[in-house]
Amino acid sequence: MDYDILMEKAIEVSKNAYVPYSKFPVGACVLTDNDKMYAGCNFENASFGLTICAERNAIGSAIADGEKKIKAIAIYSPKMDNCFPCGACRQVLHEFKADDDFEIVLKQGGKLTFYKLEYLLPEGFNL
């Protein structure tokens, strides 16, 4: 997989973020185990608890199209390098990861960086 393409889609969709309160746009693009890509951006609400993260937006798009297993996700914000997923998104990623080779792709100083989900969420919750 060319992770540059995944990151490019995350960068592009970050431009569509609706962030009037935080001013912190984020874009994400997931790669499913069927090699399909789905992008999402964060969007906020005046009732802050209703805000949706880019990662969960992208995963929701994949699920709506019938996908249930994700191999990788690229996450980007123009506001910071290595824009890590929040704790809630880490757990959602854990729920839908295809396998232990799952990659979280971030951007730092113009270069892609890679993290395993288990590093960011050891002992994720399972049923």
Residue 55 falls in the annotated catalytic set? yes
pLDDT at residue 126 in the model: 82
pLDDT at residue 68 in the model: 96
pLDDT at residue 102 in the model: 94
Please report whether residue 111 resides in a domain: yes
Please report whether residue 113 resides in a domain: yes
Please report whether residue 65 resides in a domain: yes
CATH number at residue 113: 3.40.140.10
Please report whether residue 126 resides in a domain: no
pLDDT at residue 123 in the model: 83
pLDDT at residue 127 in the model: 75
The one catalytic residue in 55, 95, 103, 118 is 55
User: How many independent structural domains does the chain possess?
Assistant: 1
Please report whether residue 36 resides in a domain: yes
Mean pLDDT, each 10-residue run in order, the chain (127 residues): 94 98 98 97 96 98 98 98 96 94 95 95 84
Its domain, for residue 60, covers 3-120
Residue 95's contacts (CB-CB under 8 Å, 6 or more residues apart) are none
